[in-house]
Chain A
Amino acid sequence: MSHTTARRKPVGYRPGAGTKGANAAVLIVLAVLTVLFLIPFYLILRNAFATDAEITAPGWMWFSPDPAWDNLSRLFNDPAVPMARSLLNSAIVAVLTTVGTLFLCTTAGYGLARVPWRHANKVFYVVLATLMIPGAITFVPSFVMVSSLGWLSDYRGLIIPGLFSGFAAFLCRQYFLGFPRELEEAARVDGLTYWGAFWRIVIPNSGSFLAAIAVITFVGAWNSFLWPLVIGRSSDSWTVQVALSTFLTAQTVSLSQLFTAALVAILPLVFVFLFLQRFLVQGVAQTGLKG
């Protein structure tokens, strides 16, 4: 630390520099915020492995002195609680939504960005117009559509309407507009078609962008609530969010089971975040969200 401080140019001419005291103050503020931000995760962990009596006991308990590890097996063995099924549903929905969105939105984005058809701009406005109306607002119209297709309580109803994200297609188009054209032109000179150049040149060189779109889509699909609630009429089509919400509002399971279920519901995404965060941060920064 002191070494870098000594080499610094004029004191505090940029946001990254400051006096030692100010730096210490920033660190303290960040440490306090870290504690605040982690409290909810801590509470999930604490309550997931405690008994109901311990959770509701007067006086503060940091962790259960005798962790109730069997809360997990009790949760999955409770026949009244479709926990395993709802996790499976969430996994299927999130994976297929991610794969489908990636395929549809990257191809569409590339077509809009690169194929010089005369009317491409008009088509782009058709996509752009859907960004004006947030997806959730149109859940009544979408419900009308899906119910008349007979897709209620069905994977098709849970997945397919969510694949055609105008926002993702828009982000892809912006990204491909910024992709170095020379690479593609070299490929085209070598006789590749647009389709060939897309799959052999553009996609293999867009790893971190694709990872970012994939993670954002996956997180969105896993955490989505309103649409699965509308579509999942029977309990065997519930996603994990719908199941959790049902336990929460109907008080069908005990307090400790509720938190065990919450822990199980966030674990996959916490892992995704911890391992793929680098891509996510890079990708978000370069998606053109900069405006």
Chain B
Amino acid sequence: MAVSTETAAPDAEAGAGGRTPRPRRRKGGWRTALTFWYFTGPFLIGLLVFTYIPLFWSAYLSFFDARNTVAPLPEDFVGFGNYVRMLQDAAFIDSLATFTVFAAFVVPLTFACSLALALLLNRVRLMRAFFRSVFFLPFACSYVVASLVWKMSIFNGVRYGMANSVLDLFGIEDVPWLFDPSPPWYWLVIVSLRLWIQCGFYMILFIAALQQIPEHLYEAAYVDGAKPGRQTFWHITLPQLRATSVAVLMLILIAAYQAFDEFYNLIGNQAYARPPLMYLYTTALGTQQDLGRGSAGALILALIIAIVTVLQGRFLGFGNAEEK
């Protein structure tokens, strides 16, 4: 204590007197540590209590037969039993398959649509702010409200529904949309809903990135005889958007992992379209209240996501993009 007070005292004087142009504190000094902790301490304590401790607690629970309890008795220890049961559970594997199909639709479509919107807006001078607002506005809408509109009005599967009214105009028969448990119609409903909500947000990110591209690149390309449009898009615009594209792809994928709201509200707990979170929700908090198995499933899912994120980062060079 005495030693650290000595080291800190000259710093404090220098800081107060303002004689040195840049009052530096020693990096290991206890005053610096104290300053660091009163800035970050409250947040870090919260992170510990509400993220790290729950994760470890959950990992502990996953080795027990923990139904309706968060404090299992030692005799309920089941080892890796919950993990084995989870991985052998066809419903859990199916939910991973559902997610894969969902992501295969949503990730490329959201990416392409938001980039296309950004490129369109970047070309137009007239009413640009208006169009931007229109495409961004759905982001203010919750998945619950959007599900309500999609399920009860646009794709309600009866004659007065919007989609079927439009089909009627072309003499096409009514489609049951969500009420047909075989693909592809329910996918169209689910994917279009997510596109509507999310595209505007990623569009904003792309617009910001497009405006960062130095104009002289296009001038140089023009001088070299590159055709504006397709050629400049593939050889200038897209490579210049690389860092943003990688970030956007990651954000879309991470959001897709968390898909729950629209499935819950559009379809409910049905085996044919049940994403992993839906399955975990019914396992851990449904009638079974099986927190042991739910924890095991959550950790398996977290592990899969962490691996995919790292692989995607390696593959797309996220690290390099960030260092720049």
Interface size of A by CB at 8 A reads 113
CA distance in complex: A263, B110 (Å): 26
Given contacts A15-B119, A56-B160, A272-B140, whether A108 and B43 have CB atoms under 8 Å apart is yes
Contact B298 A137 (CB under 8 A): yes
The answer to whether A281 and B47 touch (CB under 8 A), given A37-B196, A47-B153, A248-B265, is no
Q: Is A180 an interface residue (CB 8 A)?
A: no
Instruction: Check if B43 sits within 8 Å of A164, measured CB to CB.
Output: yes
Quick check: B141 and A266 within 8 Å, CB to CB? yes
Residues on the A chain within 8 Å of B28, using CB = 117-118
Q: Is the CB of A41 within 8 A of B162?
A: no
CB neighbours (8 Å) of B153 from chain A are: 43, 47, 259
- Quote the shortest CB–CB distance from A1 to chain B (angstroms): 7
B185 within 8 A of A: no
Tell me if A200 counts as interface (CB < 8 A to partner B).
Answer: no
What are the residues of chain B within 8 A of A265 when measuring CB–CB?
A: 142, 144-145
Q: Which residues of A contact B119 (CB under 8 A)?
A: 15
B 26-42 to A, binary, CB cutoff 8 A, 1 in contact else 0: 01100011011111101
Q: Do B159 and A58 touch (CB < 8 A)?
A: yes
Please determine whether B284 and A262 come into contact, CB atoms closer than 8 angstroms. Answer: no
B285 at interface, CB cutoff 8 A: yes
- Distance in angstroms from B183 CB to nearest chain A CB is 22
Contact residue among A1, A11, A136, A190 (Cβ-Cβ distance under 8 Å from B260): A136
Q: Indicate if A195 sits at the interface (CB-CB under 8 A).
A: yes
Q: Contacts A137-B301, A223-B142; is A144 near B54 (CB within 8 Å)?
A: yes
- Give the contacting residue for A137; candidates B126, B208, B277; CB below 8 A: B277
A189 nearest CB across to chain B (Å): 5
Most buried by A among B35, B124, B140, B158: B140
Of A14, A44, A56, A274, most buried by chain B (CB within 10 Å of CB) is A14
Whether B15 contacts A191 by the Cβ 8 Å rule is: yes
Interface flag for A57 (CB, 8 Å):
yes
Q: A269 to B258, Cβ gap below 8 A?
A: no
Cβ A143 vs Cβ B284 within 8 A = yes
State A15–B15 Cα separation when bound (angstroms): 52
- List the B residue with the shortest CB-CB distance to A223: B142
Number of residues on chain B facing chain A (CB within 8 A): 121
B142 contacts A225, C-beta separation under 8 Å: yes
Closest to A145 in B: B54
B239 within 8 A of A: no
Known interface pairs A12-B229, A13-B221, A277-B133; A130-B298 also in contact (CB < 8 Å): no
* CB–CB A144/B138 < 8 A: no
Q: Does A126 contact B (CB under 8 A)?
A: yes
- Is A161 in contact with chain B by the CB < 8 A criterion? yes
| Contact with B140, one of A148, A255, A273, A290 (Cβ below 8 angstroms) | A273
- A16 near B280 with CB under 8 A, answer no
Leading 7 A-B pairs by shortest Cβ distance: A111-B39, A285-B208, A141-B54, A291-B243, A108-B43, A141-B58, A223-B142
Can you list 18 A-B contacts with CB-CB less than 8 angstroms, sorted by A residue number? A12-B228, A16-B122, A41-B137, A108-B40, A110-B39, A140-B58, A140-B291, A144-B70, A145-B54, A147-B70, A160-B50, A166-B47, A223-B143, A249-B265, A273-B136, A280-B204, A284-B201, A291-B318
Further contacts, 12 of them, CB under 8 A, given A14-B219, A141-B298, A147-B70: A15-B123, A108-B40, A117-B36, A123-B36, A127-B44, A137-B305, A139-B281, A142-B54, A145-B50, A226-B277, A265-B142, A266-B142
Residues of A within 8 A of B (CB): 1, 4, 9-18, 22-23, 26-27, 29-30, 33-34, 37-41, 43-44, 47, 55-60, 104-105, 107-108, 110-112, 115-118, 120, 123, 126-127, 130, 132-145, 147-148, 160-161, 163-164, 166, 169, 185, 188-191, 193-195, 198, 219, 222-223, 225-226, 229-230, 241, 244-245, 248-249, 255, 258-259, 262, 265-266, 269-270, 272-274, 277, 280-281, 284-286, 289-291
